Every structure is written in C-alpha cells, then in structure tokens.
Structure 1
Amino acid sequence: MKKNVLIIGGGGVAQVVAHKCAQHNDLLGDLHIASRTKSKCDAIIASVHEKGAMKVPGTFEAHAVDAMDTAAVVALIRQTGAQIVINVGSAFVNMYVLDACIETGAAYMDTAIHEDPEKICESPPWYGNYEWKKREACEQAGVTAILGVGFDPGVVNAYARLAADEYLDTVASIDIVDINAGSHGKWFATNFDPEINFREFTGTVYSWQNGQWQSNKMFEVGQEWDLPVVGKQKAYMTGHDEVHSLSARFPEADVRFWMGFGDHYINVFTVLKNLGLLSEQPVKTAEGQEVIPLKVVKAVLPDPASLAPNYTGKTCIGDFVRGTKDGKPAEVFVYNVADHKEAYEEVGSQGISYTAGVPPVAAAILVANGTWDVKKMANVEDLDPKPFISLLNRIGLPTRVKDADGDRPVDFA
C-alpha cells in the first residue's frame, strides 16, 4: 500500500532522503518536503529532477513550515495527506513534529535524539528525557514512531540486534565505531550542522559499562581500531544516542560509541572551547550587541552541504560485538563502507549525509508495506533487522560481516 511522505528538513540529509524517496516513489506515493526556508526545498526538488530520480511520474512539492510549531505541522500533514513523516530537521524540532504525528495519526521517524536548545548533555538515558515519555500516547493513537533510524543511531542498532540474533549466543560488549576517512579539502569544517556537532562533543561522554552509566571527558579515552578498507584509525569514546537505547535492551553488556577524529579537528575544537566560542549562552559585544558564540561559529563555518562536490575517500561504520558462541568467546564486526564521491554522483551529497539519509527511506518503505508498521514507538533494535538490512543492501548501503569465518556480505537469501 502506498503511503504519502512528508520530509521535514532542507539540509544535506534531507537531500539524500528526497532523492531516495523519489527513486522509490512507486512504493511510497506522493512526496512533499518542507523546511523553514522553502527555497532550500525547491532546490532539492530541482536536483531530484536534474538527476531523473523519480522512478514513476508523481507529485513532489515543496512547502514552508516552522517545524517548532506543532499546529503548523499538523496543518501541513493534513494538507498534503502525508501518512509517513521523515523528520531530518534540526534535533531541536523532534518533539514538536512527533506531537503533530500523534495528533494526525501519521507514522513518524527521525535520525537523531531530541535536544533542548537551552540544555547540553542531559542525564542518561537521553531517550527517557523526551521521546520515551510519548510511548503511551503513540500506542494509544496507534502511531508508528521509529526513533533514531539514521546510520548511527539506526543501522548500528540493527547491527547489534543482528549480532545477538544470528552470530552470538550471549553479548558481553557492543562497541560502535564510526570512522570517516574522507577529505573535504577545507581548512576546518563539520560534516553536519556545526551547532549540533559541537554540542555533541562539549558535554559528558556517557557509556554503559559494568551495569551502570560511566562518565568521561571528551577525548579522554582513545583507542586504535583496525578496520576493513580504511585501515588503522584512532577513535575516541564519545557520547552518542544509540548507547542510551541499546543499554536498555542489552543491560548486561558494555555499550560504547567511538568516533574518529584527526589531530587538527581536536586542536581547533579545543581552542574554540577554551575561548568560550562553543558556548550556547549569550554574551554582549563592546558595542552592546548580544550574540551567542556557538551560533557565530556556525555562521562562519562552511555549510556541510557545500562540502559534497570535492569530498573524497570512504567511511567505515560498524559494531564490534563480543560475547560467546557455543560456549566459547567470540567476536563479530558488522559494518558498512560508503564512498563520498559515489554518494555525490548519485544524489549530490557527501557520504556522511548519504549514510544518514538512506536508512529512514528504507524504514519508510517497510512502514508502507506493513513490515515495520508496528503502531507504537520503537527504537531500531526493537524491530526485526533482517528486512531492514536486506533492503539497505539493495538501495545503497550494503552490509558486511567479519568474524572467525571471514569477511563477507550479509545475505539472508
């Protein structure tokens, strides 16, 4: 059954979502995209048509909406007849869009956890502060709400569930490793919204170890990982969304997230932080003008979407899952490798946006055909990973597994 889709957002990830929805509009129906700035949506739709991405003739329309105005989102959902809302806007808008979906009955999905602009790094588990409080409302309304269905969080959650279901008998630890071995050619830039990027790395690093939350500082704990294709890479334990849901599903396992950072990024980040330029608290200039330092830094850095044309290299993101198999210690690495240049050639975005934008479209297709239309709130690890990973294999994000039996594609056929 076709289900019309409304995409919320106008950035690099939204562009990927738009192209992928267009490539599968025979399964999804009418398409709509909305952000605060309609011209961004118009440009995305133009790029869809330039690439000839629409699989079959159909509707793809742009709209303006303030996604922090629930009533406006409700009106737009009803106006467009959207039955699935893919929210890839700022992390600040999640709860407003979710409330609109609960009111209208539309299915909801996002790719990152909700954040309050006034707060940085709230107490764990992060999902418990906002999203999980709406579980009952979703179930009462029969609304499917899939949380964090990007790559990380999202696909990596499915990888953890797959490892537990298919490759191991018990799970002792889950280490999610995210390496971007690409180069954008800029002196300094962030791969996604600088404000969200810096907020993510200025707070406490929470991990789930020994059955409890552990706190560390950013860049305090580092480790070298030897990965397929990209080789040996230094990564640091980082606070991240999926730790806060996987720790609830696998409470007996240690759950950690590791992200790769180069020395240059760390040096620039440290200087900005020490100077107070990553603060979200307003300050007054000598001229009496009030500014928020973090927003000023965001304004002077390159737009992440502008990095795509010259981005080269690959990403490697996956889960090292350790436990036992047949009574013996075992380890499995479930992973994906994506290419920045290939992503740009296909959809006009860089690889980071590509890995974040393809999974929610796969989830939308699974909701549309009923496979994942669960009529309640779920994190990705709560859902059967096989149809999700199988679909991703076909639409641009193939999964591989490396264990004692070798390195091979994941194939459920």
Structure 2
Amino acid sequence: MRILLVGAGGVGDAIAKIAARRSFYELIVVSDYDRSRAERTIAWIAEKHGQETAARFVAASVDASDPDSVAALAREHGATHVMNAVEPKFVPTIFAGAIAADADYLDMAMSLSEPHPTDPHAQTGVKLGDDQFAQAGDWEAAGRLALVGIGVEPGLSDVFARYAADHLFSEIEELGVRDGANLVVRDDAGNEIFAPSFSIWTTIEECLNPPVVWERGTGWFTTPPFSEPEVFTFPEGIGDVECVNVEHEEVLLMPRWLDAKRVTFKYGLGAEFIGILQTLHQLGLDSTAPVRVRSEGGPVEVAPRDVVAASLPDPASIGPRMTGKTCAGVWVTGRGIDGAPREVYIYHVSDNEWTMREYNAQCVVWQTALNPVIALELLASGAWSGQGVLGPEAFDAVPFLTLMAASAADGGYAQPWHIEERPI
C-alpha cells in the first residue's frame, strides 16, 4: 500500500504520526499546499522513531483545489490510496483526482450541502455527500473504493452503530450520535479563551447549516440550527453537557445501511459557543462569498469565513494550552437480542494530556486521525474490501474494533472502547 496523504494540518499531521508506529504500508507521501508543514511532520517522526521509520515518508507540495495536481502527485508516487485530510470544501477536487489516478480514496468529511432554497428549516436541499454518492457508479465501474466519512464522527460512531445493529439489538428505535467534552483552552495568564479544537471553517459549516434528522416513513428532513436541546451525561468524568442538533454526515450515512426508526446527531457546544456562532451569522462573517475590502495595497476580495479562521488559533497549535477529555459515541435505544428494552452508549474517550505526551497532537484531531489509519490497515490486510462509494457502516465492525482495542503487544492500537448500559 502506497498512500498519498493530502493535508498536513492538525489531522493530517496526527495521521502520519499514528501511522509511523505501524508497518502495513510501503510509503506515505505527506503533502500540503505549504510543503514546510509536511516536512515538519516528517522531522517529528524522524526524531521520535528514527530515520529508518522516517524513510517511509516523503514530503510534497499539492494544490488540493486542483484535481490534476492531486492526480499527478498520486501517479508520481504510485499511490494506491488517497487520504483526504483537508477541509471538506476540497472534497470534490481530491475525489476527482483520486479516481483519475486509479487510486482508492478515503475522507473524514463528505461533500458539502446546500440548504433548500425556499424551506431550509424543514426540507433538505443538496445533502452532505450527495455529490459523492451520485458518482458511485463511476467508482464501481473503475473497480475502485471510496470509503467516505471514516474519521471519528463520522467514522468511529458509524462503526459503533454497525456493531450495535449486528450484535446488541434486534430492533433499533434510535441511533443518536452524541459528542461532548470538558476541554478548556487557556492563555498565558491562565484565562479561559475561545479557541475551537477543530477547524472553525468546518465548525461554522456544520453548526449554522440546518441540521438533518432521519425518520423511518419520512426520510431526511431539517430543523433550525441548535434545535431540540437536551442534557446528555457523558462518561469518564465529563458529565452533563447540553447537546443540540447539528448537521453531520452520520445522519446521511447510517440509514443507507442500518435499520433504525430514527437517526440523529447532537453536539455539546455550550451556550458561549452557540452565542458566538449566532453572532458570526448575524454579522455575515460566516459567509464564504468573497467581499471587497480596502487595504493599503488596494482593494482585495476575501471571504469573511476565511478571515475568521485566520484570526483564531490554529487548532493544531492549542494542544499545550488545552486540558480535558473529548468523547465520541452513539446512544442506541431499542430492543436487545433477547427482545427486552435496551439502551446503551458505545463510546471512545481521548485525553488531551496523553495525546500531547505521546503524539504532540491535541486530543480532538488525534481522535479523528486514529480511525482512517485503522481503516487503511484493514484495507491493506483485506479484512475490509469493497467497490463504489461506501460508508463505514458497509463493513463488518468487529475487525475494526478488535484491532483498535488490542494491546500494542498483540499488534493493536491499544485504544479501548466501551459499552455503557443505561437504565431504561
């Protein structure tokens, strides 16, 4: 397996660092628009693991907005797999570049949605991933696999859902993805500051777009942003967090392969975060349409959302200032294998202190990066295989979860996951 990794930001950097401890691939080309970021990642690997390990990595420049650039780089290095680790606005071009280079493809976020033009808070328009699923026939005809949404959410939560459907439940009432954390970022004086732990560009897209819900008999429909607030109790000391509906890929993926009466995604944002996002929207600072701005060198055009992203700390840089844990999982209700009512939360927790110490990566990006590496290893071994455009639910969850939880001595990733039974 020869992998072209597109993007050496927070998640791409963590993917390379996690993969450095594995042996299932021949080469990883770490590429970025800014080649120095790729070089910095490889230098860390060399210092941590030695030159022999680092020799399996190559730094390169790439323009993720140009499918020809992606395809040319993939062909140059004989890439068998293209791993997309940049913002979802680049999905169409990297997706096109991969199939043009006759390579398989993986991503952690799917092609962007477009709200319904007249009724955005009730009806779907273009849904997340619609553009990719529309091309499934092309991928099948080419004999290639596009494994979409294989981060943590979407990704690991979808694997958990498949496991629940296969092994824990005879009938599922709701697959409810729930994401929460107790993360705090502080400045040099110890004051808590606003510093999103993930790309603010992506966060704005997810949180301000109309959330999607799926129900049997109705299909997909939308609600207003931040709707249906609920307090969800997260494990391992995180505690009660208010969660709200947010647009996310799991709701678009799970119903394609899993049988449930309802599928939802709720994110623990907090009142301050919601208020900031609402203010950005009111001021038009969430817009991706360029506006004309005066500058010393003359008028320039810039997208307001890009200005917001440039003004905030890089999520990859805030790890040393961050404390706490993040939890990703799926809350499943219904009837167990024995027919009795059952309610479980299947989850994985990532601790920032540990991820910083072991990988020099903050816990949110590290937890996201872990899952595509596991998936790539399963594809390399043949434990997972397929053609067309498929989500994580299309694959047997047991090989993934077994490899994830097994100790390093047993060839695994030493990342235990948990099933928490909840009272009915």
Question: How does the TM-score come out when normalised to structure 1?
Answer: 0.91
Cα separation, 2, equivalents of 1:73 and 1:371: 27
1:192-271 paired onto structure 2 within 5 Å: 192-212=198-218, 213-229=220-236, 230-250=238-258, 252-271=260-279
User: Could you tell me how far 1:396 is from its partner in structure 2?
Assistant: 4.7
Q: 1:362 is aligned with what amino acid?
A: I
Q: 1:268 is aligned with what amino acid?
A: I
Q: 2:262 is aligned with what amino acid?
A: D
User: Could you tell me how far 1:105 is from its partner in structure 2?
Assistant: 2.5
| RMSD of equivalent CA atoms | 2.3
Give the 3-state SS of the residue equivalent to 1:28 in structure 2. coil
Cα separation, 1, equivalents of 2:204 and 2:402: 34
Taking structure 1 as reference, are residues 65 and 19 closer, same or farther at Cα in structure 2, changes over 3 Å only?
same
Give the 3-state SS of the residue equivalent to 1:78 in structure 2. helix
Cα separation, 1, equivalents of 2:107 and 2:258: 22
Taking structure 1 as reference, are residues 254 and 118 closer, same or farther at Cα in structure 2, changes over 3 Å only?
closer
1:388 alignment partner in structure 2: 400
Cα separation, 1, equivalents of 2:116 and 2:373: 30
Contact 1:355 1:397 in 2 (8 A): no
Give the 3-state SS of the residue equivalent to 1:198 in structure 2. helix
Give the 3-state SS of the residue equivalent to 1:323 in structure 2. strand
1:348 alignment partner in structure 2: 360
Cα separation, 2, equivalents of 1:57 and 1:284: 45
Taking structure 1 as reference, are residues 82 and 74 closer, same or farther at Cα in structure 2, changes over 3 Å only?
same
Give the 3-state SS of the residue equivalent to 2:196 in structure 1. coil
User: Could you tell me how far 1:53 is from its partner in structure 2?
Assistant: 7.0
Question: How does the TM-score come out when normalised to structure 2?
Answer: 0.89
User: Could you tell me how far 1:357 is from its partner in structure 2?
Assistant: 0.3
Please list every run of 5 or more consecutive structure 2 residues that lacks an aligned counterpart in the other structure. 188-192, 406-411
Please list every run of 5 or more consecutive structure 1 residues that lacks an aligned counterpart in the other structure. 406-413
Contact 1:358 1:396 in 2 (8 A): no
- Say whether residues 1:403 and 2:400 are aligned partners: no
Cα separation, 1, equivalents of 2:302 and 2:245: 32
Contact 2:243 2:266 in 1 (8 A): yes
Residue number among 48, 58, 61 corresponding to 2:58 in the alignment: 61
Q: 2:387 is aligned with what amino acid?
A: K
Contact 2:17 2:359 in 1 (8 A): yes
Give the 3-state SS of the residue equivalent to 1:95 in structure 2. helix
Residue number among 16, 20, 24 corresponding to 2:18 in the alignment: 20
Cα separation, 2, equivalents of 1:78 and 1:371: 26
User: Could you tell me how far 1:347 is from its partner in structure 2?
Assistant: 1.4
1:130 alignment partner in structure 2: 131
User: Could you tell me how far 1:335 is from its partner in structure 2?
Assistant: 0.6
Q: 1:294 is aligned with what amino acid?
A: R
Cα separation, 2, equivalents of 1:164 and 1:53: 43
Taking structure 1 as reference, are residues 380 and 5 closer, same or farther at Cα in structure 2, changes over 3 Å only?
same
Q: 1:176 is aligned with what amino acid?
A: V
User: Could you tell me how far 1:310 is from its partner in structure 2?
Assistant: 1.9
User: Could you tell me how far 1:139 is from its partner in structure 2?
Assistant: 1.3
- Say whether residues 1:78 and 2:63 are aligned partners: no
What is the aligned length? 401
| Residues 214-272 of structure 1: per-residue CA shift (max 9 Å, x gap) | 32222222100112111111111111111001122235421000101122212222222
Give the 3-state SS of the residue equivalent to 1:93 in structure 2. helix
| Residues 312-368 of structure 1: per-residue CA shift (max 9 Å, x gap) | 111111111111122222112111111011111111111110111010011111111
Residue number among 280, 283, 286 corresponding to 2:288 in the alignment: 280
Question: Quick check: 3-12 or 118-127, which moved more?
Answer: 118-127
Residue number among 342, 345, 351 corresponding to 1:333 in the alignment: 345
Cα separation, 1, equivalents of 2:66 and 2:21: 30
Query: Percent same amino acid at aligned positions?
Result: 28
Contact 1:211 1:251 in 2 (8 A): no
Cα separation, 1, equivalents of 2:134 and 2:353: 40
2:163 alignment partner in structure 1: 162
